[in-house]
Structure 1
């Protein structure tokens, strides 16, 4: 399970949500083995006055990836590398224009389909074999 929040300026990124979502999902599928149909992306696009980020360009994006614990350090590094390798060139931004945080929480802290996340049967692994820390 992973949910992604995308923060950026409305005047720069509005209308490009699907393009960005497709890039993010490709990285999550590649690095973490998420099923293609497990896509939970939210765009929080702000007016210029509400986006105070000194030293960053107008194209600056912030990603928050909220997920179950268990991916391991190697899995998190793989996702970070994939995001910088794919998203930066595809969107025509610099590495300084992309910042991300992976926020892990225990499965029991999630409520999904009417039950705690640790009681939920998933169709995919949260701990891929190559993600050992």
Structure 2
């Protein structure tokens, strides 16, 4: 799952395009299928979004949640690809993008299609 935060007036108009760019980057780098898209957009009022000095109102935070186990090189490649594709397709400078990958062990994940079995409890 990917969670994206930004100022509402800047994030809302680009949500669909940003989702496409993120998914394309994840497909390109991680081999995820297009239909595995799970993006959550959190548009914030400017008064609720404090960000570092030297950033513009286009400042966007992207949190990528994934199961642990991918190589460091793969995660670095994903970050590099996201920076490049977002700048190329949406014109947002890398200085205005913050990307964090959060990894959890597989036993910390669940969905309606994948439930914990008795042997996993």
Q: 2:4 aligns with which of 3, 6, 11?
A: 6
Aligned residues: CA RMSD: 1.6
TM-score normalised to structure 2 length: 0.90
Counting only pairs closer than 5 Å after superposition, residues 47-126 of structure 1 correspond to structure 2 as 47-55=45-53, 56-113=55-112, 115-116=115-116
* C-alpha deviation, 1:94, in angstroms: 1.2
* In structure 1, distance between residues paired with 2:14 and 2:88: 15
> Could you tell me how far 1:53 is from its partner in structure 2?
1.1
Which ranges of structure 2 fall in alignment gaps of 5 or more residues? none
Please tell me whether the aligned partners of residues 88 and 98 of structure 1 are also in contact (alpha carbons under 8 angstroms).
no
Whichever structure has more helix as a proportion of its residues is 2
Question: Runs of 4 or more off by more than 3 Å in structure 1?
Answer: none
- Scaled by the length of structure 1, what TM-score is found? 0.82
Q: 1:41, 1:4 → 2: CA distance?
A: 5
Structure 1 stretches of 5 or more lacking a match?
Answer: 120-133
- In structure 2, distance between residues paired with 1:106 and 1:97: 30
Cα deviation code 1:5-59 (max 9, x no counterpart): 0000001121321100000000000000001100000000101100111412100
The count of aligned residue pairs is: 116
